[in-house]
Structure 1
Amino acid sequence: MKHLLSAASVVAILSSPLAAAGLETYLEFPKEMPPGNLAIGPDGRMFMSVHEFYGPELRVVEVMPDGSTKPYPTETWARAPEEDGDGLRGVLGLRADREGILWMLDGQGEGQTGRVVGWNTKTEELHAIYYVGQPAARPTSFLNDLAIDREHGAIYISDTGDGANSAVIVIDMQTGRARRVLEGSAFTVPEDMPMIIDGREIKLGGNPAKIGINPITIDPTNTWVYFAPMTASSMYRVRTTDLLDTSLSDVDLVTRVQRYGDKVISDGSTVDADGNVYITAMTDNALGVTKPDGTYEVLFQSDEDLPWPDGFSMGVDGYVYATINELHRSPVLNGGEDASIGTYRIVRFPALGTAISGR
């Protein structure tokens, strides 16, 4: 399913700022601390995954107000586990909910089962672990991002998979049951469009990078889950009640998915209370937004300052925070060579609508 940008979206893009003027660099990190995704708790504490594409020792850190970092949740948990001990194998997605639980998506490795680890940031104790094994997962699964729905007791995971089998995984937090939905649907698999950054087509595993569902987020009322393939020109949404309705077949569920609006190739996403879905538009070195009327607008663009914007988090201060990490220059996406120059930072800007953190 391929959609061209609407005329209104094209006008919005052409009339948008062509530089990152007005975008604030909140924090900068040294070369050994490439940021992944962000999570800001209801008390304002900030947590960050360290992007595994750079092969870091630490998986997750807490980011202090002065820009320093410390291993999180503990010295042991922040690193790879030894045999069956505590630790995290590789975290991309993470979210902090309104109860102060930090949810870390610990993707599966060879011979390992993916899982979601919840840590209570108030009591500094392990809260829960949910495992994502087969048949909800596939041998080619790549658990990429997640959204937390405490109102309905559910976790929604984007499984990028191998592209053909991209899907959403739904976890029931009460029973621990995991279900795979929308596998191979037009809303989860990539479109046939090249991922070109700085004039180079990005390759993954030697093949052109055409990547399925990745960005996924939930609105503050826990009514809608917004999601999209990374390589796609559309943002979609579906009601949480439909995702949670086990009586619906996949054929039925497909009819409940709505096309929300235009977008470009993108990585992370978040949404404010007014329905503005923010995306990290890494092929444009930009931050953009899909608006409730379906149009797409570039908010900030800079080839120098915004090389691969990655993940978002809403702050308690009304700002939208985003990570920058040059991921196209990482060994995984650059033929095994690390060509990054260390433009690792967190930027922020005021939300267009009402921002609510911790969800």
Structure 2
Amino acid sequence: MRRGIRLVIFLSAAIVTGAACAENGGGNAEVFAKLPQSVGNIAFTPDNQLIFSHHPFFSPDVRVARLTSPTTFEPFPNAEWNTPRKGTDQYLDNVLGLRSDESGVVWIIDMGFRTQITPKLVGWNTRTNRLERIHYMPEPVTVKGSQPQDIVIDQKNRKFYIADENIGPGGDGSHAAIIVIDMDTGAARRVLDGDRSTVPENVPITVDGNDLTVPGKDGKPSLIKVGCDGITMDARSEWVYFAPLSGRSLYRIKATDLGNEKLPAEELSARVERYSDKPNNGGLSIDYAGNIYLTAVETKSIGIIGADRKFRTYLSDPDMVWPDGITASPEGYMYVSASQVSAAAMFHGGKAENKTPYLIYRFKPIAAGYISR
């Protein structure tokens, strides 16, 4: 029996006990998987294979995995690609963001700074079980502190759009940006670097009454501020939506403008539109009706922004600690990880509050979504 078929079978019966209840949005979420390590982002292939990153915040040995049951996984695409080694960069070093396209190619963002290799976008073809292509992101496409970590696949305009939140080593979010890669040529550009729409706002990230801080340059606690994080695109490939995690604004720009190499930086910035209010949020996804789903990291909830451009809570659960990656699946659900990043020791005086199991939830969106954004 083919791996994808096996996964479809267990998906139909994999719901683990427990359900999240909606506070004021009408949605309900079920705990789908309970895993031994923190889950970052999630991708679905067209034949329903669930691929996910182990959150790099916790320095996992297996960077990317394939779910094999509600409690188990195996390295993806294999153990070799999850093993750093000298003399090559043909491995996955430091991964958070990934998505599958409609052809079954899983595109994986390797941030590269764990073993100091050039950041890259790795495409692995799940139908042939072979490397499809690597797109590199050297300087100046990436900069000091780059942390490219979420992606949209735009087949219509033949582009990848990658959010770089700029909080990697040496970064403080002030040079957050979007990276645009041409699918056909591999040419990559850094746009909206330091723009008002990509850099973090000066607002705290507060979870359970605790403002998250990191050591500042003077050694004193400093509020952690995260730049451009979530990114998604509508069904017609017209508008790209994005936002800094630390901030109260969701922005959008036309995909044709984002991909236009001839637009000067100032004019590109002028074409960015503030779309709506939002809370501090991580991942973004969208359904065919244009509803935008946000992982609200402070409130253990999923929010939604509809056609009225107003944010509301769709569902929440007390165990959905730091909801991170969110994506649609072929069978009509959306899936979201609870990474527990905010429970880590560095945010609690050296005493870790994160604990197993780490959860993946699923819920029914208002309308179906699609796997590539």
TM-score normalised to structure 1 length: 0.90
Please give the alpha-carbon distance, in whole angstroms, between the structure 1 residues aligned to 2:357 and 2:73.
17
2:110 to 68, 90, 106: 106
Q: Kindly tell me the number of residue pairs found equivalent between the two proteins.
A: 341
Q: Is the 8 A contact 1:323 1:346 kept in 2?
A: yes
Question: How many angstroms does 1:152 deviate by?
Answer: 1.9
Q: Is the 8 A contact 2:291 2:307 kept in 1?
A: yes
Q: 2:334 matched to which residue of 1?
A: 320
Please give the alpha-carbon distance, in whole angstroms, between the structure 2 residues aligned to 1:35 and 1:105.
15
Aligned residue for 1:77, secondary structure, equals helix
Q: 2:344 matched to which residue of 1?
A: 330
Question: How many angstroms does 1:21 deviate by?
Answer: 7.7
| Higher deviation after alignment, 89-98 or 327-336 | 327-336
Q: 1:48 matched to which residue of 2?
A: 52
Aligned residue for 1:341, secondary structure, equals coil
Question: How many angstroms does 1:343 deviate by?
Answer: 4.4
Please give the alpha-carbon distance, in whole angstroms, between the structure 1 residues aligned to 2:72 and 2:118.
32
Task: State yes or no: 1:177 paired with 2:187.
Answer: yes
Please give the alpha-carbon distance, in whole angstroms, between the structure 1 residues aligned to 2:86 and 2:295.
35
Q: 1:292 matched to which residue of 2?
A: 307
Aligned residue for 1:345, secondary structure, equals strand
1:191 to 197, 201, 210: 201
Please give the alpha-carbon distance, in whole angstroms, between the structure 2 residues aligned to 1:66 and 1:265.
29
Q: 1:154 matched to which residue of 2?
A: 159
Please give the alpha-carbon distance, in whole angstroms, between the structure 2 residues aligned to 1:217 and 1:79.
30
Aligned residue for 1:267, secondary structure, equals strand
1:6-44 CA deviation, whole Å, 9 max, x = no partner?
xxxxxxxxxx616998311111112xx210100011111
Please give the alpha-carbon distance, in whole angstroms, between the structure 2 residues aligned to 1:275 and 1:197.
29
Task: State yes or no: 1:339 paired with 2:353.
Answer: yes
Structure 2 letter corresponding to 1:293 = D
Q: Is the 8 A contact 1:53 1:330 kept in 2?
A: no
Q: Is the 8 A contact 1:272 1:355 kept in 2?
A: yes
Please give the alpha-carbon distance, in whole angstroms, between the structure 2 residues aligned to 1:211 and 1:133.
22
| Higher deviation after alignment, 333-342 or 66-75 | 333-342
Question: How many angstroms does 1:72 deviate by?
Answer: 0.5
2:95 to 91, 94, 101: 91
Q: Is the 8 A contact 1:265 1:282 kept in 2?
A: yes
Task: State yes or no: 1:131 paired with 2:141.
Answer: no
Question: How many angstroms does 1:80 deviate by?
Answer: 2.8
Q: 1:75 matched to which residue of 2?
A: 79
Structure 1 letter corresponding to 2:364 = P
2:234 to 216, 219, 222: 219
Structure 2 letter corresponding to 1:267 = G
Q: 1:85 to 1:163 in 2, by over 3 A?
A: closer
Q: 1:281 matched to which residue of 2?
A: 296
Q: 1:3 matched to which residue of 2?
A: none
Q: Is the 8 A contact 1:37 1:310 kept in 2?
A: yes
Flag structure 2 segments of 5+ consecutive residues without an equivalent. 1-21, 167-171, 216-220
Please give the alpha-carbon distance, in whole angstroms, between the structure 1 residues aligned to 2:154 and 2:336.
21
Flag structure 1 segments of 5+ consecutive residues without an equivalent. 1-15
Task: State yes or no: 1:207 paired with 2:225.
Answer: no
Structure 2 letter corresponding to 1:253 = L
Please give the alpha-carbon distance, in whole angstroms, between the structure 1 residues aligned to 2:73 and 2:246.
32
Q: 1:264 matched to which residue of 2?
A: 279
Structure 2 letter corresponding to 1:320 = M
Task: State yes or no: 1:357 paired with 2:366.
Answer: no
Q: Is the 8 A contact 1:322 1:347 kept in 2?
A: yes
Q: Is the 8 A contact 2:328 2:368 kept in 1?
A: no
Q: 1:17 matched to which residue of 2?
A: 23
Q: 1:36 matched to which residue of 2?
A: 40
Please give the alpha-carbon distance, in whole angstroms, between the structure 2 residues aligned to 1:170 and 1:355.
23
Task: State yes or no: 1:116 paired with 2:121.
Answer: yes
TM-score normalised to structure 2 length: 0.87
